[in-house]
Amino acid sequence: GEDVEQSLFLSVREGDSSVINCTYTDSSSTYLYWYKQEPGAGLQLLTYIFSNMDMKQDQRLTVLLNKKDKHLSLRIADTQTGDSAIYFCAEISILTGGGNKLTFGTGTQLKVEL
């Protein structure tokens, strides 16, 4: 199938903003997600956005959605060393036979430097 694309690495300084970008594939996706993976752990849900929204803010996190370009971004304000992790975007696709499928992107490794 087609890939959900992300850049592999991002390095920022502590206190700066981080912006992680994602290009997804299914224009009919109803929900788009951001998951965080800390070292040695599984993924955990960070936030999600419904497809009829352009933006969602949750404390230091801002999600922007451009449906026309199938582009999703995650902005982390005042980035901290604890934000160092791999960030995955994900999309939900409806299956023709019923049900739905969650597809993850390639992941972006965020490194926060002092």
Residues that bind other proteins (CB under 8 A): 1, 3-4, 6, 8, 30-31, 35, 40-45, 48, 50, 88, 90, 92, 94, 99-107
> Shortest distance, CB of residue 99 to other proteins, whole angstroms?
5
Give the nearest distance from C-beta 74 to other proteins in angstroms.
15
Q: Is the dihedral of CA 82, 88, 94, 96 positive or negative?
A: negative
Distance between CA 2 and CA 5 in Å, rounded?
9
Amino acid at the residue 56: K
Tokens 């939900």 map to which residue? 92
**Nearest distance, CB of residue 89 and other proteins, angstroms:** 10
